A = this chain, B = another copy of it.
Amino acid sequence: MGLTITNQLKRPEPQALASAVEALAARFGNRLITSQAVRDQHAHTTTWLPSQPPDAVVMAQETADIQDVVRICARHSVPVIAFGTGTSLEGQVNAPAGGVCIDLRDMNKVLEVHAEDLDCVIQPGVTRKALNEYLRDQGLFFPIDPGADASLGGMASTRASGTNAVRYGTMRDNVLALKVVRGDGEIITTGTRAKKSSAGYDLTHLFVGAEGTLGIISELTIKLRGIPETIAAAACSFETVRGACQATILAIQTGIPVARIELLNAAQVRACNSYSKLSLPETPLLLLEFHGSENEVAEQSKNFGEIAKECGGGEFSWTTRPEDRTKLWQARHDAYWSVKALRPGAGVVATDVCVPISRLADCVTETEEDLKRLNLLSPIVGHVGDGNFHCSLVCDIDNPDEMARGEDFMHRLVERAQAMGGTCTGEHGIGQGKQKYLRAELGPEALDAMRALKQALDPQNIFNPGKILPAL
C-alpha cells in the first residue's frame, strides 16, 4: 500500500519505445542500460510512494549526451527523466509513464570558479559535499544544505534549501543562471554571471523548482560565500514549542543574522537521547549556529542568550571550538538515525510544510496533538527561522490500519499549514506526492497558469510527465 497516485498517464507505444531504445543503444553503447536492477535503482523514491522504474537509463557524460537523449526521445515521444542522486522525497524521479532516465552523476565537473565574483559554474551532477570539498582551499563554500549529499542539478530542480536557508536563502536565491536542454535538444541560456539583472522574464527561476518538467538542466552558475572566520554553535532547551518559536521570532526581528536555527520537539529529543546516549531535557530544543568574526558571533550568541531567557529558555550554552560544536549539535546530526532506530524494521516517511513564523508554534503544537490522537509516532525537526518543519512518520508499511492513519495525518498536516497561510511543501517539492494539494493552496487560476507554462515549454509533454501538475 502507498499513497494513491491519481495520474493515469499513457505509456509510449511499444514500437516507439523500442525504436528509441535502439537508437540510444547505437549512440551510447553500454552507457545505455536496461537491466531491471539498474532501472529499479533509478526509481528509488526514499518514501512510501510506489517505485515506477524507467524503461532504460543513459549514463550521461557531457551536455551533448543530454541533447542526444532528448532528441531521440522527442522523436519517438518517449518521456525523459533527469536523475541526480535519487534523494528527492516526493517521487520526483519516478517514471509513471516509463521512458528514459538520464543519470547525471558522471557530469560532476566544476567548470569555473570565480573567487572574486563569488560564483562558480558546474555540471548538474556535482554534489554539494564534493563542491564544498573542491572549494575549501579557496576559502569559499556553497551554503545550501538539505541534509542529503544531493546533486546541485537536483537541488535546483526541487528548489531545495535546508538548515541554513534562514541566513543564505534557498536554491532560488543562489542560482544565478542555468543552461537547460529543451525539447528539440537545443540549449536555453537563462542568465549571465551578473549578480542582478532586469533583462526580460526570469527564466532562471522558472526552471528552478520545475522538477525537470520543463527541460533538463545541463549547467548551473551558482553563488558562493566566503567561509566565515568564526562559527559558533549554541543550544537552549525550552519548556514549550511556543517559547522556542517566540525566541526565534525575536531573534530575527532584531536582526541577529543566525546561520542556522533548528527546533527539535520533545519527541525528537527523546529519540536522540535514546540513540545518541545524551541526557538533554526532554522538552523542545533549539540548536543554533552563528557565522561571522569572533566578535560578531560572540555578540550574536550573547544577544540570543538574552532573548532565550526572556522566552523561558533554560541553560544557554555556546561555543566556537569545533569539537564542542559537534557535541552540541550531535542530536541534530543523528536525528534521522535516531528516528530510524525507534522501531527497527518500520518505515520512516519524511514530509514537510512551511507556515508564516507567527503561526509556527500553533502549527507544531496542533500537529503534536493530532499525532497523539491518531496514536502515531512522528518526531518533528524544524528549520524554524523559515517557519518550515519536517515530520518523520514512523509507520509499519505492512499495517494497513496504521498506514491509513498515517495518510490521514499527512492530509491534515497539509490542510493545517495551508489554513495558516502556509504551503504544502517548503523544500521537498510537489513531485507526485503533493499534487493534490496545489489547487487548494494557490487556486485554479495558478494551476491554469502552470499548465499553460508547461504546454508552452514542453508541448510534447516528454519532460518528467506526471509530476507537479495533477491530472485534469
- Which A residues are closer than 8 A to B by beta carbons? 114-119, 139, 158-161, 165, 169-170, 172-173, 182, 186-203, 205-206, 208-210, 214, 225-226, 228-229, 249, 252-255, 257, 291-293, 295-296, 299, 303, 354-358, 386-388, 417-418, 421-430, 434, 437-438, 441-443, 445-446, 448-450, 452-457, 468-469
Residues of chain B lying within 8 A (CB to CB) of residue A428: 198
Residues of chain B lying within 8 A (CB to CB) of residue A165: 196
Residues of chain B lying within 8 A (CB to CB) of residue A193: 356, 421-422
Residues of chain B lying within 8 A (CB to CB) of residue A418: 192
Please name the residue on chain B nearest to A177 by beta carbon.
B442
- A456: contacting residue among B172, B186, B203, B452, CB under 8 A: B452
| Interface contacts beyond A117-B357, A169-B173, A190-B442: sample of 6 additional A-B pairs, CB < 8 Å, sorted by A | A139-B253, A186-B445, A187-B445, A192-B441, A194-B421, A257-B257
- A194: contacting residue among B291, B355, B468, CB under 8 A: B355
Residues of chain B lying within 8 A (CB to CB) of residue A456: 452-453, 455-456
A-B contact pairs, 17 of them (CB 8 A): A116-B356, A116-B358, A192-B441, A194-B356, A197-B425, A198-B426, A198-B429, A198-B430, A199-B437, A199-B438, A200-B209, A200-B442, A200-B450, A205-B205, A229-B255, A255-B292, A453-B456
A216–B201 Cα distance when bound, in Å, is 15
A198 near B253 (CB under 8 angstroms)?
no
A453–B430 Cα distance when bound, in Å, is 22
A446 near B192 (CB under 8 angstroms)?
no
A194 near B450 (CB under 8 angstroms)?
no
Residues of chain B lying within 8 A (CB to CB) of residue A192: 418, 421-423, 441-442
**6 A-B pairs with the lowest CB-CB distances in the bound complex, closest first:** A456-B456, A116-B358, A197-B423, A159-B198, A205-B205, A452-B456
Min C-beta distance of A431 to chain B, whole Å: 10
Residues of chain B lying within 8 A (CB to CB) of residue A255: 225-226, 228-229, 291-292
A190 near B446 (CB under 8 angstroms)?
yes
Min C-beta distance of A462 to chain B, whole Å: 16
Residues of chain B lying within 8 A (CB to CB) of residue A254: 226, 229
Residues of chain B lying within 8 A (CB to CB) of residue A422: 192-194
Min C-beta distance of A169 to chain B, whole Å: 8
Residues of chain B lying within 8 A (CB to CB) of residue A387: 117, 194-195
Residues of chain B lying within 8 A (CB to CB) of residue A206: 201-202, 205-206, 453
A199/B445 contact (C-beta < 8 A), A205-B206, A225-B255, A253-B115 known: no
B198 near A427 (CB under 8 angstroms)?
yes
